[in-house]
Amino acid sequence: MKIEELRNKFPALDTKVYGRPLVYLDNAATSQRPEEVVSKVSKLALESNANIHRAVHRLAAEATDEYESTRDAVRSFLNAGSREEIIFTSGTTASINLVAFSFGEAFVGEGDEIIVTESEHHSNIVPWQMLCSRKKAVLKVLGVDDEGHLKLSDLPSLISSRTRLVAVTQISNVLGIINPVKEIVSLCHSMNCPVLVDGAQGAVHQPLDVTETDCDFYAFSGHKLYAATGTGVLYGKRKWLDLMVPYQGGGEMIESVSFSGTTYAPLPEKFEAGTQNFNSVPSLKPALEILEMMKDPELVAQCNEVNEYVYSSLSADPRIRIFGVPRGTESKTSIYSFCVDGVHHEDLALILDKMGIAVRSGQMCAEPLMDRFGVTGMLRASFAPYNTMEEARYFISSLDKAIGMLK
């Protein structure tokens, strides 16, 4: 596939900003939507808009088929052992909160421990803080070094007989470094500790085989991998999901209800209370198909060329401090967070916006990581396979111009 063919699938890329062609480099926050995704949501809303699982009429049957066939597609995407291990949520945040509550209620007590890392998004910190506060448990933190790598040698000493779970990001939304998830899972399992992996960035950059990796939980969002907003996935090993209590009560998640007590539905309905996002969840199917198309060798080569150019250009500029430094032959995803001495990140972002370039500025929902590096915020440019070398060169030249205007 040629990159022009890919870009033609994303109408938003033809947008003009202040009279200039849009250069969209905020993909780590949310990706743009291909026509196939927009069409799927529109078709379901207009032609098969009915609540799933409950009614016997044709529209309900069509909506249910679309929803449940998406579960099969996601199971295949992750190589999960069964479709019952795939829970639909509103996004990564909801998935992690589900585990923090339901796993926490079942397995965490006073004095127990949860481990997170210093490079986590707030969504993989705050739910665990809430759990620890509720249960009088202890939150422990695995640090990162000056280059943004996890201090893995410290992990064995952090894990104790009271450690109930380790929560780690596959790829930091700030640093772009691919963490050695399989190694982490293996180590934790050798010490009888389950692992939750935040795949919000990983699912789009380096899809995880949950069977091969052997993680216990895996969470990701649809809107970061070209699907509709309000869609997300939680994969959980059946052995845990069966023992966990429901996160929410309501319709669909029940087997039988009476005032003397309630029994719960089997997996996956046990964790899908209420009316689900049945118009949007099926957009995961065409999004995953687009993701598969992006594995085209020509597109991969083009992406690698763009990423090498951007990283080398940023690294070579003495005015720029880049965060997340790969080592040796390690790969760094197309997420570039950096600071410019004497220049505020938001001022840079505002000037780049006037040039038609969309980037992110601020703390990127990772305030502890900002504190670790002694900054109040950063500028982040995040690329997708639909970003061209021409856009990359324009970004670098525009950044140089913007820095020159502010220094």
Catalytic residues: 365
| Helix/strand/coil percent split, the chain, to 5 | 45, 20, 35
Per the CB < 8 A criterion, the answer to whether 349 and 361 are in contact is yes
Number of Cβ within a 10 Å radius of residue 270: 22
State the Cα–Cα distance between residues 204 and 190, nearest whole angstrom: 29
Burial 38-62 (b: 16+ CB within 10 A, else e): bebbeebeeebebebbeeeeeebeb
Per the CB < 8 A criterion, the answer to whether 234 and 271 are in contact is yes
Per the CB < 8 A criterion, the answer to whether 228 and 280 are in contact is yes
The single residue listed with the structure tokens 């059946």 is 238
- Identify the helix (H) or strand (E) that includes residue 399: helix 389-406
Structure tokens at 95: 């998935």
Q: Is 358 helix (H, G, I), strand (E, B) or coil?
A: strand
- CA-to-CA separations, 294 to 2, 35, 66, in angstroms, rounded: 10, 15, 24
